[in-house]
Amino acid sequence: MSRVGLALGGGGVRGLAHILVLELLDELKLRPCIIAGTSIGAVVGSLYASGMPGKAIHDLVSRYLQAPNERLRDKIKKRAELLRWVGPPAAPLGRGGGLTPDRFLRHLLGAVSTGRFEDLAIPLLVVAADFWAGEEVVLESGELLPAIRSSMAVPGVFAPVVLHGRALVDGGLLNQLPYDHLRGRCDLTIAVDVCSSRNPEEQVLPTVLDALLGAFDIMQSAALTAKIGLGPPEIYVRPRVGNIRILDFSRAVDVFEQAQPAIADLREQIGRLGIT
């Protein structure tokens, strides 16, 4: 069987679509030999690398998802728990950013049996960016939590992380989908792109925060398109998740629904290559 590498991209709540990819890999008994992740991709990737099956990760997240036909009382309860998990939806921005993702990370990573890269069941690479040097930083040893915090530190939203003497920010600034770091470490790579899909019919004026995060998305998408043009991964899948704000975790059910066609496409691609 081919050694498969898995690259999980950044994209905020849209990155929950990665969980469906993991569930499919489990169903097909296709275990990655290495994982690389940026931002939310690093979060989901760390859970999977620790040994958690895709379904267990889905169940962990689903405790807080609001179904459309759910009773109002249950929705209110889940909404309150969601806010306890990820914090308030907005906060004044201070030096470097007003929010920290620790609450979010500690909740999810509480399910991880280890706090260090070296003890993971599957090797993991986490991509961040050095703010002052303007270069990628690939983290694969030491403590997990600060590495993942740095990988998802969106400038202006989450505070930068000082690690190994560097001020680190979201890895998506330089490498939204880090499949290139898996070359030479596996036989083929599955790369999952969760960049935003926009509806051109909805020409509404964005808020300041939406404009900031939307500009971030636009730059990432353009850079990733150019990168794929120079050398694509063996398997590329892009869940078309549109019109969902990057930090709107109350829309997780919509993410799962919109991602279903991409999961079907991934199944077909894997089948055509005969790697199961």
* Cα–Cα distance, 150 to 60 (Å, whole number): 23
Q: How many C-alpha atoms does 119 have within 13 Å on its Cβ side? A: 8
**141: annotated active-site residue:** no
Kindly name the residue from 170, 193, 217, 254 that is annotated as catalytic. Answer: 170
Kindly name the residue from 39, 46, 196, 250 that is annotated as catalytic. Answer: 39
Q: What angle do CA 92, 97, 103 make, to 5 degrees?
A: 90
188 contacts 234 by C-beta, under 8 angstroms: yes
Handedness of CA 33, 37, 41, 42 (dihedral sign): positive
Placement of tokens 């694969």 in the chain: 140
Which pair of tokens denotes residue 28?
A: 């097909």
Q: Which residues of 42-73 are buried (b: 16+ CB within 10 A; e: fewer)?
A: bbbbbbbbbebebebbbebbbebbbeeeeeee
Question: What is the CB neighbour count within 10 angstroms for residue 113?
Answer: 10
Which pair of tokens denotes residue 61?
A: 């997240």
**217: annotated active-site residue:** no
Query: Which amino acids are annotated catalytic?
Result: 39, 170
